[in-house]
Amino acid sequence: MRFFGVPPLRRILLLLLIGGGLIAWKWHAGPRRWRLNPRITDEIGLLGKELRVRHEEQLQSLFEESGVDLRLLLVPTTGGEPIEQYATRRARELGVGRKTGGRGLLIVYDSARHAMRIEVGPRLQGILPDGFIGFVMREHARTLFEGGDPELGIRLTVRILHWRIREALLGEEYDPSFQEYVNDVRRLAIGGGASADVGPAARHPVFTSSRAGSADSSRFAPQPTVRAAYGRFLEWLALDRYVSDVPLFTPETQTYLADLPLTRAYSSGWLAMEYGRAYAIDERGDVAMLYFTGTPLAAPHFFRRTPSGWQLDFNGELANTLEAVGGWYSWILLDSGDQYSRTFADRYLPYDDAGFGVYYRVAGGDNRRLVTRGSGDAVESELDPRPRRQPPSDSSDAGRVEHLTVYQAAQRIEAVTNRPSVVVLYATDGIDTRDSFGGLVTLAEFCASHGVELLAFDVSDDPQIAELPEFLASKDARFPAIHLYRWRSGLLASAFGQIGIRIPSEWMPPLVAVRDRSGRVVWQERGIRDWAIVLAKARSAVE
């Protein structure tokens, strides 16, 4: 299996037009595994060698990720046979989904009629219902084929189908409520699939582009809050026209959007991915990050504050995110070195998976992994009973576990003034720590009775987080359950070093630092086993 870094849906058009390519990371298989089972039949020569390879690799990665056998059939004509009947017959002849238990999709393109059909296999009709396929055909594929670029139309059709399959991998049912925000939504298709006339004679324009009038510039202006700016952005996506030169976006973003031929259907697909999803906002000075806590499929947005208000900065998103196919996640964070990656460095949650090396996601965001064939599972129909999984977030253990980044922890420590404090970094997943945990409980009791602030942070690996409240209760530890997100290399030392706590390159928890009333660190040590020494140092700070 391969893990492909590809441009996200909202930037793929521009990058394709300027020749952007794929960035590949090896996982289980070689780069040409698709040759064992090609999924494209091109009888019209639409795809050159390079594009053919790119499409084949994309479809192979989709299969490796989800178990869905998606095929492309490009023919000069279906003859006198209706395309619906032709697609059904050819799907059977080609054995689409035969080896995957009916989890197959066939996209047929008739170049003579400029018609397309998406034939959905029986095991996928629950996750790709007629309503969704109808939306793809009418709101997405039609407008792209009208522009005379069927290859691009096919590619983007596959992308939006892939997004929906990924939702199903997460146990998400198709929710058409976003369509209420899209103007002039046409009647949904009927039947086990959908087909549409995608030729140049169709009525709707491909790329709707116009300059913003005064009303648009006023409506889509910088906003007083990040939340309001994001709300305006969703409204902008639902427009029936494309106006890129509105001040809701930074000047650089406006320039980027001016070169992006965004269709109404394209913006509707974007809206579908984000509408109604839970999110959180981290605002720091004049920059902000909006990250999603209700879907792992949408990358974060970045905002910049100007004297007029908050604006969206797509250049920040382009620099700091990369979408991927064939691995655990649909996108990753990039350490670009720009203002956003520096300001939100503590939000860069590191993962170190075998075969990938270190990559990042957003700390506090929805970081559910996709269920992949490599983990022994494949996408199934939503009609089949299976457990539902709730997205994790900062409040997933509401009232029980508080999650902090290392920057937030340092700020909390620094905020303690005019009284002594003791900082403890402990790990409940260590046997030695658990055996000697009674010493920390005794220290907590002393601090509570002598006016000393105890700031205790668990630094265990994620699998231990859920056990933390129960563990503390079992030890009668009367201090809050606070967990630190994993941090980028050197970030803990940098953040804590600014408040006088030294974090060596290698250390074993518990690490303890005692601070006097002025906030000065008067003693610290790591790998504590004799808590009596710590208790004595804390007593000295009080005296």
Q: What is the pLDDT along the chain (543 residues), one digit of tens a residue?
A: 333 444 454 444 433 333 333 333 333 344 566 777 889 999 999 888 888 888 888 888 888 878 899 999 999 999 889 999 999 999 999 999 888 888 899 999 898 888 889 999 888 888 888 888 887 777 666 666 666 677 877 877 888 888 888 888 888 877 766 666 553 323 222 234 544 454 443 444 444 445 666 678 888 999 999 999 999 998 888 776 778 889 999 999 999 888 776 666 667 778 888 888 999 999 999 999 999 999 998 999 999 999 999 999 999 999 999 877 667 788 999 999 999 999 999 999 998 875 567 889 999 999 988 776 544 445 554 444 443 434 444 444 434 889 999 999 999 999 999 999 999 999 988 766 777 899 999 999 999 999 999 999 999 876 567 788 888 999 999 899 999 999 999 999 999 999 999 999 899 999 999 999 999 999 999 999 999 999 999 999 988
Tell me how far apart the terminal alpha carbons of the chain are, to the nearest angstrom.
63
CA distance 107 to 355: 33
Phi, psi values for residue 200, rounded to 5°: -70, -10
Name the pairing type of β-strands 421-426 and 511-515: antiparallel
Q: Determine which helix (DSSP H) or strand (DSSP E) holds 316, and give its type and residue range.
A: helix 314-320
CA distance 203 to 201: 6
Specify the pTM. 0.78
CA distance 26 to 2: 5
For residue 243, give the nearest of 278, 283, 213, 271 by alpha carbon: 213
DSSP-based three-state secondary structure for 429:
coil
> Which pLDDT value is given to residue 399?
46
Neighbouring C-beta atoms of residue 113, cutoff 10 Å? 13
Listed by start position, the domains of the chain span 2-197, 214-375, 401-542
For residue 273, give the nearest of 357, 162, 188, 198 by alpha carbon: 162
> Which pLDDT value is given to residue 178?
67
Neighbouring C-beta atoms of residue 138, cutoff 10 Å? 21
Encode 307-320: b = buried (16+ Cβ within 10 Å), e = exposed: eebbbbbbbbbbbb
Q: Copy the structure tokens of residue 35.
A: 């040759």
Matching residue, tokens 């008067």: 522
CA distance 320 to 302: 9
CA distance 160 to 248: 26
> Which pLDDT value is given to residue 376?
46
> Which pLDDT value is given to residue 302?
98
Matching residue, tokens 């870094």: 5
Please report how the helices 264-274 and 150-169 are oriented relative to each other, as an axis angle in degrees rounded to 10. Answer: 10
CATH 3.40.50.740 fits 401-542, yes or no: no
Q: Copy the structure tokens of residue 201.
A: 């004679």
Matching residue, tokens 């594929």: 141
Please state which CATH number belongs to domain 2-197.
3.10.310.50
